[in-house]
Structure 1
Amino acid sequence: MYIPKYFQVTNINEIIEFIERNSFATIVTTKKGKPIASHLPLGLHKHGEDYYLTGHMAYGNPQWRTFETCDDVLVIFQGPHGYISSSWYEHENVPTWNYQAVHVYGQASIVGEEELKQDLSELLEKYEKQRENPVLWDKLSPQLLESQLKGIVGFKIKVQEVQAAYKLSQNRNEEDYHNIIEKLQEEENLNSHPLAEAMKKIKNKGN
């Protein structure tokens, strides 16, 4: 990923927080030289000094079979993004697009049934525990779980390289920066408000 120096993020704790908050990812591999992708929720785990991404996909999805033949898997995590109008600047300039993205490169492998069950249990815990009537692993019938497990394949990706970019107008002057935040807050686009909050957050860190 091309990352100008203004936008590069290297703080591992910040990157981990971003991945956990934006865990619905795009996994890219190649099949006979052609890129293929799947869109899946992933978990992030640390074992010793190593980080792993974990997830599952349908057995009928041919992508999991490429894990054995691909040296590298690319996983893309994306945060809020949006159009930045040049009318929001103090001086004449061109419009742009702000975004947050993390690219993770690693080696993928298929996991066994017990490891898959553990990962699914943790996935349910993450997304269900705050709900009024959480449906956790131990509340589902063994018959249902057994039938569903037959239709999926679990995998893990050992993280080998991470690239992170937050393109959030850091190269603009103070007046333009605050004006962009205000204009984004006025927009009705679904991503505009989270994008404004992301800009506020990195500005506060800088101060």
Structure 2
Amino acid sequence: MYIDDSNKNEDSDAIKTFIRQNSFGILINQTQGKPWGTHIPLELETNKAGEEVLFGHIAKANPQWKDFENNNTVLAIFQGPHSYISSSWYDHENVPTWNYIAVHVYGKIKILEGDDVLYLLKKLVDKYEAGSENPVRIEELSQKTMRQVNGLVAFEIAIEDIQAVHKLSQNRDDKNYNAIISKLESKKDANSAMIAQEMRKLRE
């Protein structure tokens, strides 16, 4: 994706944390000759070989997986908070803009089978059930329930490139930068509050 040099995020640890915290992403490839996207959890994990990869699964009824072998290059998009920035907040005339955080991960996808599928599903369920009062455990589900796994196609993505942007008004002087933060905080919506928080962290 296009990223202005001033908005590039090259902090590897921060990028990985962002992916894990915003893991409901979009998987994009070419399917049946046209761009195809599916909204799914894409988990940044270490596979059994010790490699850092993205794990995920889609419904077998989704034709997207049928093109994984013919063209295994895919794009995973992770979107974070975003907010409109009004130029009325500045002390000078300018145009409005938008602040946002996003990560694009490019890689090669391969279909998983057998025990690797259960390994993936266990990691996924354990992560999201961790805060549940009565957590579901894959290993405790009945054979009848687990037959639903046959309707899934699991995969892992070997990461080749990560592009991360945090467009947070880095080009503004301190006076206007702080004015933007103040206006965002006054809007009292979650996205604006998170962008304001990230802006504060950037100039701590």
Instruction: Report the TM-score when normalising by structure 2.
Output: 0.94
- Residue 120 of structure 1 corresponds to which residue in structure 2? 121
Tell which deviates more after alignment, 126-135 or 59-68.
126-135
Q: Which amino acid aligns with 1:185?
A: E
8 Å CA contact 1:85, 1:96 repeated in 2: yes
8 Å CA contact 1:50, 1:159 repeated in 2: no
- Residue 62 of structure 2 corresponds to which residue in structure 1? 61
**Correspondence 1:194 to 2:194:** yes
Q: Which amino acid aligns with 1:152?
A: L
Give the drift of 1:184. Answer: 1.1
Task: Work out the CA distance in 2 between the residues paired with 1:193 and 1:60.
Answer: 39
Counterpart mapping for 1:123-162 below 5 A: 123-146=124-147, 148-162=148-162
Q: Which amino acid aligns with 1:46?
A: T
- Residue 4 of structure 1 corresponds to which residue in structure 2? 4
8 Å CA contact 1:52, 1:157 repeated in 2: yes
Identity between Structure 1 and Structure 2 (%): 45
Counterpart mapping for 1:8-27 below 5 A: 8-27=8-27
Task: Work out the CA distance in 1 between the residues paired with 2:143 and 2:72.
Answer: 36
1:13 partner SS? helix
8 Å CA contact 2:101, 2:165 repeated in 1: yes
Task: Work out the CA distance in 1 between the residues paired with 2:16 and 2:145.
Answer: 33
Instruction: Report the TM-score when normalising by structure 1.
Output: 0.92
Task: Work out the CA distance in 2 between the residues paired with 1:115 and 1:137.
Answer: 13
Task: Work out the CA distance in 1 between the residues paired with 2:109 and 2:46.
Answer: 15
Give the drift of 1:182. Answer: 1.4
Cα deviation code 1:135-185 (max 9, x no counterpart): 222332232012x10111100100001111000111111111111111111
- Residue 167 of structure 2 corresponds to which residue in structure 1? 167
Q: Which amino acid aligns with 2:128?
A: Y
8 Å CA contact 2:31, 2:63 repeated in 1: no
Task: Work out the CA distance in 2 between the residues paired with 1:142 and 1:199.
Answer: 49
Cα deviation code 1:121-140 (max 9, x no counterpart): 11111111122222222332
2:68 partner SS? helix
Task: Work out the CA distance in 1 between the residues paired with 2:142 and 2:91.
Answer: 61
2:166 partner SS? strand
Task: Work out the CA distance in 1 between the residues paired with 2:129 and 2:135.
Answer: 5
2:203 partner SS? helix
8 Å CA contact 1:111, 1:154 repeated in 2: yes
8 Å CA contact 2:72, 2:110 repeated in 1: no
Cα deviation code 1:33-66 (max 9, x no counterpart): 3101101001112356742101000000000111
Task: Work out the CA distance in 1 between the residues paired with 2:78 and 2:117.
Answer: 22
Tell which deviates more after alignment, 38-47 or 91-100.
38-47
- Residue 33 of structure 1 corresponds to which residue in structure 2? 33
How many residues were matched structurally? 203
